[in-house]
């Protein structure tokens, strides 16, 4: 959930889209959708080494598979780096 009208009620997508577009116009920023912003946020997290489970949680996913399908290709060394960090004495000969 990005924006809420109250602690118990979500805004309709058209409401926050209208508000978002007004913010962009006021800031004289090129149009970007909230979905694009969310994807950029997640991509940046992955490229900076955030574990996919953390990315999934930050995006509100109940299952990490969604984040894995979408963002795993951004971190091809993720598995190898994790193994090296968690088991530094194990080497490939």
User: Measured between alpha carbons, how far is 33 from 17 in angstroms, rounded to an integer?
Assistant: 8
pLDDT at 72 (0 to 100): 81
Tens digit of each residue's pLDDT, the chain (93 residues): 445 556 666 667 777 788 888 889 999 988 888 889 999 999 999 888 888 899 999 999 988 898 888 888 887 776 677 777 788 777 665
Instruction: List the structure tokens of 36.
Output: 């694009």
pLDDT at 82 (0 to 100): 72
Report DSSP state, residue 63.
Answer: S
Indicate yes or no: pTM above 0.85.
no
User: Measured between alpha carbons, how far is 38 from 68 in angstroms, rounded to an integer?
Assistant: 15
pLDDT at 48 (0 to 100): 87
Q: Which residues contact 20 (CB under 8 A, 6 or more apart)?
A: 34
pLDDT at 43 (0 to 100): 92
Instruction: List the structure tokens of 81.
Output: 């780096």
pLDDT at 1 (0 to 100): 42
């Amino acid at each position: 959930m990005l924006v809420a009208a109250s602690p118990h009620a979500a805004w309709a997508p058209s409401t926050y889209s209208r508000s978002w577009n007004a913010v962009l116009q006021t800031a004289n920023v090129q149009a970007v959708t909230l979905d694009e912003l969310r994807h950029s946020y997640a991509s940046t997290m992955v490229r900076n080494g955030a574990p996919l489970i953390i990315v999934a949680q930050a995006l509100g996913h109940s299952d990490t598979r969604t984040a894995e399908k979408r963002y795993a290709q951004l971190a091809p060394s993720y598995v190898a780096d994790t193994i090296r960090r968690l088991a530094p004495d194990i080497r490939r000969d």
